[in-house]
Amino acid sequence: MILLGLDFETTGLDLTTDRITEIGAVLWDTDTAKPVQLWSVLVKHDDAPAITDEITRLTGITQAMIDDYGHPVHRCLRQLFLMMGHAAAVVAHNGTGFDKPMLQAHIDRCGVIPPEIPWIDTAMDVPYPPQITTRKLVHLAAEHGFLNPFAHRAQFDVLTMLTILQRYDIATVLDTARQPNITVIAQVSFDEREKAKSRGYRWDKVTTSWRKTIKLNQLDAERAQAGFEIITITP
């Protein structure tokens, strides 16, 4: 099976104002556990905010790099969609929460039409064993016995993600990816908040609750393993 591993670096997290600065995309053959096409590109926009020092510290990408080596976003999206056309699914780590909505925001602004293709989120859809509670990609790599030497550069993050995914049964992962999302809320006190954080719950200041999104078929396991009561709501 051919999968398209995908990762974006961006100027920030705001879907309205921030822009993609780098695309890393890898067509990956699950039968041979090897890439068949690798593509990495810096992206420039007419309306992008300047890259901040904080983003440069995180990714190593500078404004000068974008100015000198960036390619127009429309051209980059067309190439990305060509690669999608060869894949059975897109794979992105935290794609549900970040990469997919960020891509959709760019699609809406640029007026382009992507291929219809399923998405796999390796932060949610992979059946990690109970002892692996982290979902940070760099830590997941260490848990699986290797290191990502260039974290927060898109193509290296994609290869790290696909190397991890290759350790699991892809049919099981795809089945989970097709499951509906649900939101679970941790019933923990202030003193117990670290329990929720350790299982990937995030504080939502609007609802003043610890919550995370999981797949419906993961609910029973979450209840059994959490160590605290949870309640469920739809996203």
pLDDT in tens, 87-143: 999 999 999 999 999 999 999 999 999 999 999 999 999 999 988 989 999 999 999
Nearest to 17 by CA among 95, 109, 81, 93: 109
Q: How far apart are CA 70 and CA 78, in angstroms?
A: 15
Which of residues 184 and 233 earns the better pLDDT score?
A: 184
Q: What is the pLDDT of residue 198?
A: 87
**What are the backbone dihedrals phi and psi of residue 29, each rounded to the nearest 5 degrees, phi first?**
-95, 110
- Mean pLDDT value across residues 33-41: 98
Model confidence at 169: pLDDT above 70: yes
CB 148 within 8 A of CB 164: no
pTM, two decimal places: 0.89
- Read off the pLDDT of each residue in 31-53 and give the average, rounded to a whole number: 97
- Interval 64-74: pLDDT, tens: 999 999 999 99
pLDDT for 235 equals 60
- Is the pLDDT assigned to residue 199 strictly greater than 90? no
* Nearest to 112, CA basis, from 144, 139, 82: 82
CB neighbourhood size of 38 (10 A): 14
Query: How high is the pLDDT of residue 161?
Result: 98
Which of 185, 175, 198 minimizes the C-alpha distance to 231? 185
Contact 55, 11 (CB under 8 A): yes
pLDDT tier for residue 233 given thresholds of 50, 70 and 90: confident
Over residues 4-25, the pLDDT tens digits come to 999 999 999 999 999 999 999 9
List the domains of the chain with CATH numbers: 2-177 (3.30.420.10), 181-233 (no CATH)
Cβ–Cβ < 8 Å for 40, 154: yes
Whether residue 10 contacts residue 18, with contact meaning beta carbons closer than 8 Å, is answered with yes
Residue 227: name the closest of 143, 126, 133 by CA. Answer: 133
**Which tops the pLDDT comparison, 86 or 233?**
86
CB 112 within 8 A of CB 78: yes
Q: How far apart are the first and last CA of the chain?
A: 31
Percentage of the chain lying above the pLDDT 90 cut: 90
